[in-house]
């Protein structure tokens, strides 16, 4: 368990000691947020004319509004992350499928190339045999004429 932290902060001109299990930097950040909210609203004439109890409630409502808006934004971002993760999964699946197809096509191409080479050799052999046969016939014809 983290150790408890005490931090002196100034909120609207008054010194407060905050305690918590968060860092002093975090506690200062929280106090700064509250201080900025109070400063923001103290500049509004209608707010300044309200009794302090009403001012406190209005500040609390505004802070709660900020909280719920931030929470909604987080939910939207989480939904976006889920959609992106699904899209990424689908793309990975498509990539793997394409890689398998490519490997199969390369294998088929290799086999077809091998077959083509064998057929080319056969053609060369047959052409050679044909040429030899034609040469032998020509020689026989020349011999028979003499």
pLDDT tens column, 56-91: 999 999 999 999 999 999 999 999 999 999 999 999
Strand, helix or coil for residue 1:
coil
Q: Note whether 7 and 17 are within 8 A (CB).
A: yes
Alpha-helical segments (H) within the chain: 24-42, 45-48, 52-145
pLDDT digits (tens, 9 = 90+) for 11-62: 989 999 999 999 999 999 999 999 999 999 999 999 999 999 999 999 999 9
Q: pTM for the complete prediction?
A: 0.62
Residue 1: predicted pLDDT: 64
Residue 2: predicted pLDDT: 76
């Amino acid at each position: 368990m983290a150790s408890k932290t005490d931090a002196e902060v100034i909120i609207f001109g008054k010194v407060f000691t905050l305690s918590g299990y968060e860092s002093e930097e975090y506690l200062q950040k929280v106090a700064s947020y509250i201080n900025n909210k109070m400063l923001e609203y103290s500049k509004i004439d209608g707010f300044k004319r309200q009794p302090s109890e009403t001012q406190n409630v209005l500040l609390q409502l505004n802070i709660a509004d900020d909280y719920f808006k931030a929470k909604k934004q987080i939910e939207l971002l989480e939904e976006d992350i889920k959609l992106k993760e699904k899209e990424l999964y689908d793309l990975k699946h498509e990539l793997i499928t394409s890689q398998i197809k490519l490997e199969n096509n390369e294998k088929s191409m290799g086999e077809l190339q091998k077959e083509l080479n064998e057929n080319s050799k056969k053609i060369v052999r047959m052409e050679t045999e044909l040429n030899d046969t034609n040469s032998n016939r020509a020689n026989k014809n020349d011999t028979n004429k003499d």
